[in-house]
Structure 1
């Protein structure tokens, strides 16, 4: 945490700092830093805004304070705290312990812990609860012995659809395919496919005393809708588009001049020594890693960050390069640009008014490193 703050502050040390231009073949990025007025409140910064969502208007960011079950409503236009909303953790309108939240157009929310989804209306009443491993219509879809991966599933931004991997419980097994669920109509389908078999390359499984204690694997990011499922992974420079009505899959592969285009395949391994596991995990983290594609509803462009080890300083200080890439409405690559050396690959990012916001803890106050793309139509 402290290293993250220090590295960013060495480049972005002031909210009044002049913009820095980064050129790319078809777009340029200017970067500045802005600070949020917390109005005297202590905002929850522990999870790097991992459990947060921008509403469909892109005006408000809702950040979940997991310790207090408080939803912090932040106005992105005024860059100030708007409201603190106290929620219940338990009870009929409890939100549980969510890993993901979605702000809906009707003022409601979806709170998900990857096992259970809770739909809440604008009056903070839970209107629907879906436990993925218990709903008969979901269990009837899955072949015997298969389940939905809790690490790799995604919910549509309107809260109506879910897509993910279905597989066995063994990390060494290749995934069986993709499951798509209509949460409103309580229907769905399974799509057997070998297209994601490669995500088991470089798998690490930690076993202690004969029991699985942890693992490291390629992540898959899903973006489902009524008629399509978009998905990409952390290990390949690509985007897959599955068309539901025609039962067809298109794979868009991209070429980067700034990073590798995929992680070199290796063998899946089961490790029984925690030190060896941590060592191998650190080696995997040096490889190129691709984040999720994030849609800018205003422009129709999708943006993504990627990173790869650039060089080592001394014996153990690693310096990564971070790259931002854009694709258009037809999923064609617009361009890519390497960001300043002290820009850190973000855990997540949000888009407001065509600008990309990444989290920054500035002296225990919430701030954003803000990237402003300018597309050149040649």
Structure 2
């Protein structure tokens, strides 16, 4: 069941199922826009084989592996990893992980990334690289590095972490300094017990878009994306389009800023309301920011040899969502931006058929963007093929 579903797009219809992305009948459709860029859109669903898949975090703690065509999704309720075959659209198996003991992951896991063909990186309380049968291969301990070698300060915290298959002894992280309200990129090299720091926020986007009171840590952080792509690490910001590329082998960091004719380069911050103390005013500020633009991370399309990035402007309705800070999305406008292999901005393409998604979890598989869709508590994906 649910092996594959293809939906025709009726370009004038309103969509009301799942994330309210698509109409509900027919076959694959192809549309040609004014810039003569052709694309097709369809949807597919995963056969869960009676497993209850973990969708509560919208696949945030998951990663697609180009090595084997699998999606690995971490279930933080059971401390298991769901291995999902995206070639057959079925659950392959569920991999249990220990929380305690020599192979233990700890009691909270914030990141899952592909470490190699047969290994996963789990970041969190006890970050490390594990085999696909749950055995620890290598531990990364940020707290073990002395301050003289770049160790983490008391007022700092490791936020998001990634590894790159080309650099097995290294882990990369966004580190937040709560006193300075700043972020930096850190590289922990476990071969020489040293942490290197890089400035990936010279424009202070993190501070600009933080809402709250720094004196008591009562603040809402803007998202900073960190991704391992090919042989480098890319860091980008939620409310600004500049991004930063680290080449670990060369110890080289470059910054990329570009002009997009149809998209703002950054959000205009608001000063209306009590953004320190009032939850309602903070929510209104977030709605204001997201109605302007919100930027996703960059991914690389090996088929077409281009980088792609999703962005969206989002308008929220009045209906509250359980476990969500903001109400249901009333409407959104989704864009895909294209860059060449040297990060030169090429174009931006609106995808008007996708009306209410915001920016879901997404990745590239065989030249198509796969975007997560929770369809009545079933794992599905919207696919855009160029």
Q: 1:204 maps to what in 2?
A: 211
Q: 1:327 maps to what in 2?
A: 339
Contact in 1 for aligned 2:96/2:134 (Cα 8 Å): no
TM superposition shift of 1:262: 1.1
TM superposition shift of 1:160: 4.3
**Which among 244, 247, 260 is matched to residue 256 of structure 1?**
260
Q: Normalised by the size of structure 2, how large is the TM-score?
A: 0.79
When residues 190 and 123 of structure 1 are mapped into structure 2, their CA distance, relative to the original with a 3 A threshold, is same
Post-superposition CA distance 1:93-126 (Å, at most 9, x none): 222321211233241211112x541221344211
**Bigger relative CO (Cα 8 Å, ≥ 6 apart):** 1
Is 1:352 matched with 2:365? yes
When residues 85 and 312 of structure 1 are mapped into structure 2, their CA distance, relative to the original with a 3 A threshold, is closer
Contact in 2 for aligned 1:55/1:104 (Cα 8 Å): no
**Which among 17, 21, 36 is matched to residue 31 of structure 2?**
21
Matches within 5 A, 1:96-111: 96=106, 97-111=108-122
Q: 2:76 maps to what in 1?
A: 66
Which structure 1 residue ranges, 5 or more long, are not aligned? 374-378
Contact in 2 for aligned 1:359/1:367 (Cα 8 Å): yes
Separation of aligned partners in 2, 1:238 and 1:10: 28
TM superposition shift of 1:349: 0.9
Separation of aligned partners in 1, 2:82 and 2:346: 35
**Which among 277, 285, 289 is matched to residue 280 of structure 1?**
285
State the secondary structure of the residue aligned to 2:118: coil
When residues 59 and 139 of structure 1 are mapped into structure 2, their CA distance, relative to the original with a 3 A threshold, is farther
**Which among 33, 38, 43 is matched to residue 33 of structure 1?**
43
Q: 1:376 maps to what in 2?
A: none
TM superposition shift of 1:372: 0.8
Matches within 5 A, 1:148-297: 148-150=157-159, 153-157=161-165, 160-166=169-175, 168-170=177-179, 173=180, 175=182, 177-191=184-198, 195-206=202-213, 211-213=216-218, 215-223=219-227, 229-242=233-246, 249-265=253-269, 271-297=276-302
Contact in 2 for aligned 1:22/1:30 (Cα 8 Å): no
Which structure 2 residue ranges, 5 or more long, are not aligned? 1-14, 320-326
TM superposition shift of 1:357: 1.1
State the secondary structure of the residue aligned to 1:292: strand
TM superposition shift of 1:149: 4.4
Q: Normalised by the size of structure 1, how large is the TM-score?
A: 0.81
State the secondary structure of the residue aligned to 2:55: coil
State the secondary structure of the residue aligned to 1:345: coil
**Aligned length in residues:** 360
Separation of aligned partners in 2, 1:6 and 1:300: 34
| RMSD between aligned residues | 3.5
When residues 99 and 12 of structure 1 are mapped into structure 2, their CA distance, relative to the original with a 3 A threshold, is farther
Contact in 1 for aligned 2:304/2:367 (Cα 8 Å): yes
Separation of aligned partners in 1, 2:208 and 2:261: 24
Separation of aligned partners in 2, 1:225 and 1:138: 29
Contact in 2 for aligned 1:206/1:271 (Cα 8 Å): yes
Q: 2:376 maps to what in 1?
A: 363
**Which among 53, 76, 81 is matched to residue 86 of structure 2?**
76
Contact in 2 for aligned 1:12/1:33 (Cα 8 Å): no
Contact in 2 for aligned 1:58/1:353 (Cα 8 Å): no
TM superposition shift of 1:61: 1.0
